[in-house]
Each structure stands twice: as C-alpha cells, then as structure tokens.
Amino acid sequence: MPHRLAAHLPRPAARRLRALLPAALLGAALTAAPGARADEAFVTSQPAEMLSIVDLPTRKVVATLPIPGKPAGIAVSPDGARAFVTSPDGKTLTIIDAAARKVLHRVDVGGGPLGVAVHPSGSPVYVADWYQHRIVAVDAASGAITGEVKVGDSPSGLAVTPDGRLLLSADRDSNQVSLIDTASLKRVATVAVGTRPFGVTIDAAGKRAYTANVVSNDVSVIDIPARKVVATVPVGDHPYVVALAQGRAFSTDQYASTVTVFDVTSFEKLAAIPVGDYPEGIAASRDGTLVYVANWETNTLGVIDAKTLKLLADIPVADGPRAFGAFIRRTGP
Amino acid sequence: MKLKLLTAALAAAALAFTAAPHSADAHGPTRQKITETIEIDAPPAKVWAVIGEFHDMSWLPPVEKTEGTGGNVVGAKRRLVLQGGGTIDEVIAKYEPEKMMLMYRIEQVDVKVLPVTNYSSWLTVTPLDDGKKSEVEWKGAFYRGYPNNDPPPELNDEAAIKAVTAVYKAGLAGLKKKVEGGN
C-alpha cells in the first residue's frame, strides 16, 4: 500500500514520494494515521533567515520557511495554531499559520524586536523592543498594534504567567525584571536581579520566574507574588535562558558550551552537560521528559534526557539557530 | 588587497586615542559568523606546532609583537600589539591538541582597531592527502562594532564581516608562508 510505504519512510522521503502520488492516494496517505502527527520544534536560524520545523519523534527537519530580517525570537501559541517570529534587523513580527507553514502577517513594530511571548488566551502577542525600551502588544489575529508599555533598558526575554495576568520582561541593561499588568498594560513592579538578565522563564504554577544573567553567570530565582529574588544560582559562562522540567532548571551557557542543571527546590547543581557550541534557546517537551537546545555555532538542535541528563541526539538545522522563546509547538491534545 | 583596509584601520587607531569606550557587553541584535580555509603543503602536526603556540602570532601580518602569560591552556592570555599601536587582548577558551583545535576570545579591543564585539574564534587543522598536507579552517563569531540600532557604515554588520574576513585571509596566507617556507 503506498500510504504504508510513505508512513515508514523518513519524512523528507515521504514528502517526495507523496509529491509523485496521484491526489486521491495522497489523501489516503494523509488520512491513514489520524492524530499521529507529533509535536514540533520551530527553530529560528538568524544568519540563514530561516525557520526550521523539526518533527520531534523522528528528529528530522520536515519543513523550512524563509523569514527575512534575521529572525531570532519565537513564540508558538498555546493551541499550536500560530507561531510569532521577531526579526530585529527587519524590525518586524512575522505571524505564521503553524500547520500550513504560511506567513499570514508581517507587522512593522519598529526598533529592535527581539523577545516575544503570547498571552495564554492566544492574543495579544508581546514583543520586546531592544532599542526603544518598550514592549509592544500586537493583536494575534489581525497583526494590529494595540498598545505599548515602557520598561527598563534593552528588554530581551518575555514571559506571561499561566493565569495571563502578568507579563514579565527581562530588562537586560537595567539588571531588573519588569512586571506588567496585562489587563491595563501598566508596569506594576520591578525586581532587581543579576547582571544582564537575558531570558526569563516562568514555572507551570506561575509562582517563580528564572532569569539567566549573562554577565554575572548566574540564574536569579524570583518569587513572583512576593516580588523578590529568593535564590541566585551559579551556572556556566554567559547563560542565555532557562528551561524547566522534572523539577530542574536547565540553563544554556553560551561560552561554556554546556547546559547547567540545578534542582529548583534545593538549588543544588546536578550537572553541566556538554552540548554544541554557543547554546541559546532551550525548551522542554510538553511531557517534561526531554529538553531541546539550539546550538548557534554548531547548527544543531540538541536533545537532552531530562531525567538522566544525557545528550541523546543532535539534529542538524539551518545555520545559526537561536530559537529564543517558546519554540515547542503542540500538534495534538 | 584587503589588507590595506586593515592597515588603514590600524593607522586610524593610532590617531584615535580619544575614541569613546563601549560598554563591554552591549551588542547589536545579530551575531555574525564567517569561515575561511587554506590548504598548506605540510603535515598537520607541523601546522599545529605554529597555530598551537598561543603566544606567537607573528604569522598574522599586522602583528608586531605578542605579549602573554599562562602557556597554552584554557584561560591563558595574550596581547597582540599591531603596527600603528593598536592592541587586541585575547584569552584561550578551548585548547584541544588531540583535535588540533584552538578556540579563543577577544577580551578587549577598540572598535577602531577591529569593528567587532563579543568575538570568538576557532582555528582547526585537518589532514589532507593522507596527512601529507593540511587544511586550516579559521572560524569567527562576533557582533558588529556598534551596539545600538541603525549603525554607521563603518561599524555595521557588513563592516565587521569585511574586517574579520580580511584578517583571516591575510593570517592564513601568512601562516601558509611561514609553514611552507620553513620546509
């Protein structure tokens, strides 16, 4: 049966085969395995100006999409329907239909759009402007700019609490995190953290946030309701951003070419896992068993077992992967 | 010859004592990477003997003097003193003789000397022709010299790429000359 053959081939081969099949058979091939499509990684490659879409179970790039303007930041909507990509050189936000791999809007946000996060409801999308020290809110459906809020200097990483009430911004050159009330789009607090915080990550309970501090080589752990730092944990040289899985924090250490792992309760360091050179974006699988890391220099997406802390695989992707943000796309329930 | 640009930049550096210092860690939005390679008619061990000596970069034409301490180990530092008086301070980040790979970073350079920030570099020797010859790869990763938006032309991404490419081409040519000349 042609569709069975296709199902057993690596995806690119299957795609080539499908291209040769009559339309009727193609339909049969696509309907043969309902719900079989698995989660994906949407990896921005800055110098290549490319989005690499990686099928996570097969660990293969199944699609690429050119994105101009040196794409860096990425946020996939919670339902997996949309992806939002920032291009700091192009000064744009690109809104993508994630399943169709199609660009829907290019929004001129000006300045230097870098960090990006989506509200848990799917809209708005928040874009950090690295140069004009503000966060711009963009309507996810229309691409219209609906508001902005001034924050500290060079905001980079953004994250929204799971209840949707607070937006956190790592204000890199002010060594602080800004807390913004999403309903009013007003800043309600700032919390001083380590030196040059770049990425900010919020846990599933919405209680704690973690900033990777590039210059002080540590991670600040923030108690969000208390609005204060409760721990500062040393990690490797030039940490970029943190992912959370299995009660552990995983920081990408750009200069050390490692992922440092520590326990989020005891803050004890568990490992420094050698990965590719210049690791940047990092994110956990939805079930928390795996952690994916984009290695900018090596052009790979590394796969780490979050329990054994072993590097399982390196998936080749387009040149200069950054994947700064929530880059794992849900494809099923 | 692109080297002219470098020497012109170096001459400018000698005059530009009042250049404003940049914040050591601010940088532009897009990290750049380049790679240059050259084939050298000598076995890899002979090429590595030159590259692997961190405290002698006399094979890079504009370097007048290499000052340094700490041997060939991670953390060792050197200062390249260039024609015209510019300096570049560098530190070993990785030193892997078994792979014939040296990685180092620039700790301090005036953007008038080299219009880059957050610069990292890799030098790797691989065998060619059953080890009778070698290929040297010189990779660099860096941000442009200007940390803010809308950079002036002399400090934009293209200027950074052009300057580092010129250094690598001149350096690899100098390395080839030094190694093959010593045969």
What pLDDT is stored for residue B28 in this prediction?
79
pLDDT digits (tens, 9 = 90+) for B129-183: 999 999 999 999 999 999 888 899 999 999 999 999 999 999 999 999 999 986 4
What pLDDT is stored for residue A1 in this prediction?
33
Residue B164 sits in a domain whose CATH number is: 3.30.530.20
Domain boundaries, chain A: 1-36, 37-329
Q: What would the two tokens of residue A148 be?
A: 């902005």
What pLDDT is stored for residue B148 in this prediction?
87
Report yes or no: A262 and A249 within 8 Å, Cβ to Cβ: yes
A148 in contact with chain B, both atoms CB, cutoff 8 A: no
- Is the pLDDT assigned to residue B93 strictly greater than 60? yes
Domain containing B90 equals 29-181
Q: Do B30 and A215 touch (CB under 8 A)?
A: no
B99 in contact with chain A, both atoms CB, cutoff 8 A: no
Look at chain B and report how many structural domains it folds into.
1
A320 in contact with chain B, both atoms CB, cutoff 8 A: yes
Helices (H), chain A: 2-8, 11-20, 23-31
pLDDT digits (tens, 9 = 90+) for B35-63: 999 999 999 999 999 999 999 999 999 89
Q: Do A47 and B33 touch (CB under 8 A)?
A: yes
- Is residue B78 in some structural domain? yes
Cα–Cα distance for residue pair A293/A38, rounded to 1 Å: 18
pLDDT more than 90, % of chain B: 77
Secondary structure (DSSP) of A242-297? EEEETTEEEEEETTTTEEEEEETTT--EEEEEE-SSSEEEEEE-TTSSEEEEEETT
* B14 confidence band (pLDDT: 50, 70, 90): very low
Question: Which of A47, A70, A278 lies nearest to residue B29, judging by beta carbons?
Answer: A70
Q: Is 0.90 topped by the overall pTM?
A: no
Report cis status (omega within 30 of 0) of the bond before A124: yes
The set of residues, in sequence order, having a beta carbon less than 8 Å from that of A256 and lying 6+ positions away, is A236, A237, A238, A272
Q: Do A319 and B33 touch (CB under 8 A)?
A: yes
- Is residue B155 in some structural domain? yes
Q: What would the two tokens of residue B80 be?
A: 């390249």
**Residue of B23, B27, B30, B144 to mutate for A, most A C-beta atoms under 10 A:** B30
B18 in contact with chain A, both atoms CB, cutoff 8 A: no
Q: Which residue does chain B place closest to A255, by CA atoms?
A: B93
Contacts of A320 in chain B (CB under 8 A): 31, 33
What pLDDT is stored for residue B27 in this prediction?
80
- Which residue ranges in chain A fall short of pLDDT 50? 1-36
- Is residue B7 in some structural domain? no
**Closest to A296 measured CA to CA, from A74, A127, A95, A46:** A46
Which whole-number Å values give the CA distances from B92 to A145, A157, B97, in the listed order?
46, 30, 13
Q: Which CATH number is correct for A37-329, 2.130.10.10, 3.40.47.10, 1.25.40.90, 2.60.40.1190?
A: 2.130.10.10
Question: Which of A46, A215, A255 lies nearest to residue B30, judging by beta carbons?
Answer: A46
- Is residue B48 in some structural domain? yes
What pLDDT is stored for residue B149 in this prediction?
87
- Is residue B13 in some structural domain? no
B183 in contact with chain A, both atoms CB, cutoff 8 A: no
* Nearest CA distance, A88 vs chain B (angstrom): 6
Q: Has the ipTM of the complex gone over 0.85?
A: no
